[in-house]
A and B are shown apart, each in its own frame.
Chain A
Amino acid sequence: MAFEGLSERLQSTIQKIKGKGKVTEADVKQMMREVRLALIEADVNLKVVKDFVKRVSERAVGAEVMKSLTPGQQVIKIVKDELTELMGGEHSQIKFNPKPPTVIMMVGLQGAGKTTTSGKLANLLRKKYNRKPLLVAADVYRPAAIKQLETLGKQLAIPVFSLGTDVSPVKIAEEAIEHAKKEHYDVVIIDTAGRLHIDEELMDELKNIRAIKEPDEVFLVVDAMTGQDAVNVAQSFNEAIGITGVILTKLDGDTRGGAALSIRAVTEKPIKFVGMGEKMDALEPFHPERMASRILGM
């Protein structure tokens, strides 16, 4: 398939350049052509690719390479470093409210994995951070969305707050937070309905939920298979409601996941977790350097 051929080509360019005692501008140019292609085929947004290639090219023909004893390796290192840096360097932790409950909102496009990830996150918070989470069913639109969350809650033995489908999501969130305070839950995870970033009415609904009590985290849940449109989606959600972080789902697939890079580049918000499967324990911290290798196919 296309990806493998590409990865091989990138490898062979790297091989060629790796052992070189002297790297010319032409060498760099050739390599950056392959890198550009690798990034495009990995679904990194075209504009992000352009900026990236420009920046790396400038560094690669600069003094740090020319003076290096192993210039070829130096160029490759620059590519990977820059990519890792772009994706946020270090792993970023969840922000807890010193005055519980911590409120976490899950938002994103339809089918991205919000409901599933809500369950996983509740599970992780209980297991790893010893918290008492409450799941909130604030999707009143998708058929059986509440049932889906309730089923997950039951599997995990974590309570799910719901008021059915006849109450507005804003009201549900409001009452859920009150309920959490009374019952001493220390984290509230609000599962919202999937929506398009261009749907003003539904984006307003998110703003109204957000206005009840300043959430500590607003996670944009994004499908790792997303293509060029990832930047539009991330930018719109961020501008409309202000996200605090990103969770990338379905990374257990064989996608290169270049959307991660695009989203990070346009929002500058950290990618906090990745979904690695459908099971409730398949949520892992995000590792920028692993993602860099994956995107480049190295």
Chain B
Amino acid sequence: ARYRKVDEEFFEELEEILLQADVGFETVMELIDELRFEVQRRNIKETDGLYVVICEKLVEIYEKGEEGISELNLQPDGELTVILFVGVNGVGKTTTIGKLAHRLKKQGKTVMLAAGDTFRAGAIEQLQVWGDRVGCEVIKQAEGSDPAAVIYDAINAAKKRGADVLICDTAGRLQNKVNLMKELEKIHRVISREIPNAPHEVLLVLDATTGQNALIQAQTFKEATNVTGIVLTKLDGTAKGGIVLAIRNKLNIPVKFVGLGEKVDDLQPFDPERYVYGLFADSLDKQLDKAE
């Protein structure tokens, strides 16, 4: 391999890789500072093998010593778990619900779906197709009805049927639409009123292609619905979704799943190590090419 010193230029390159992954300026600066410190502490002089150290350190920063942060908060047998999906338009909420339902069913759970997007054209039919595909009952009402009422109905139906998990879809909404965010708060309230401690998960779906706006999305949706985790979708593209590092850093919300395609099996639990290595994969490839 080519010997390379750990110098200013190296850190600048690192900075660019992270910025191009959409991590965002502030968080990149903080991360670079910590990495600089780590390099000094371990007295590392050459870049050989340094990426491994960097990845380890980034994972450490992400995990903050907390264990099991990616796991779903499922209730014990015999109790209903309610999962609420939220997010801006077109990020992949409905598709992820289909995939998650499939996943939970494979684990032996009875899953039901609530068609809480009564607004977007074809949204109810889309969820119904997913319900049929994975074999889940979908509770729905007519287009244009009150989403909180749909979800209220669905909770009662799920209780009656003794279902294990109810997953609630909602319409996509941009976080600066005050009325739509209020509607979401109402949905959240209705769920909590029917079952104390519910929803047990509020999953914010983020599109990996999204840039810095995702941080504002996370902050605003968290204020409205107490988001418990993130699903990072469309990671099968070329975008890295690095903003989730800033979100973890600033708002403490962990990623729970990643979406890797449009099929039922394209949902995986988030693995910070794999994810962080993915951030550098292209640059490592390039370096190897150069070295050859």
What is the interface of chain A, defined by CB distance below 8 A to chain B?
1-3, 37, 40-43, 45-46, 109-113, 116, 141-145, 147-152, 155, 196-198, 223, 225-230, 232-233, 250, 252-256, 258-259, 278
Contacts and interface: CB of A to CB of B under 8 A. Distances in A.
Contacts of A141: 262
Contact of B238 (A143, A229, A258): A229
Contacts of A278: 89, 119-120
B118 interface: no
Interface of B is mostly: loop
Given A40-B25, A143-B133, A144-B126, 9 more contacts: A2-B215, A41-B212, A110-B262, A116-B121, A143-B126, A144-B122, A152-B121, A230-B209, A253-B176
Given A144-B125, A228-B21, A2 B91 contact: no
Contacts of B24: 2, 41
Contacts of A109: 209, 234, 237
A41 B120 CA distance: 31
Contacts of A43: 22, 211-213
A257 B126 CA distance: 29
B174 interface: yes
B59 to A, nearest CB: 22
B10 to A, nearest CB: 17
A113 B121 CA distance: 12
A226 B212 contact: no
B90 A112 contact: yes
A136 to B, nearest CB: 16
Contacts of B25: 2, 37, 40-41
Given A143-B129, A226-B209, A197 B237 contact: yes
Given A43-B211, A143-B129, A144-B129, A3 B90 contact: no
B210 to A, nearest CB: 5
A241 B245 CA distance: 35
A45 B239 CA distance: 12
Interface string B261-280: 01000000000000000000
Contacts of A45: 20
Contacts of A155: 121
B237 A198 contact: yes
B130 interface: yes
A46 B26 CA distance: 15
A123 B19 CA distance: 39
> 8 shortest A-B CB distances, which residue pairs?
A227-B211, A111-B90, A148-B122, A43-B211, A143-B129, A151-B121, A229-B239, A144-B125
B211 A198 contact: no
A40 B92 CA distance: 26
Interface string B64-97: 0000000000000000000000001111100000
A250 B238 CA distance: 21
A1 B92 contact: no
B48 interface: no
A110 B234 contact: yes
B16 interface: yes
B241 to A, nearest CB: 8
B136 to A, nearest CB: 14
Contacts of B243: 227
B175 interface: yes
Contacts of B89: 111, 113, 250, 278
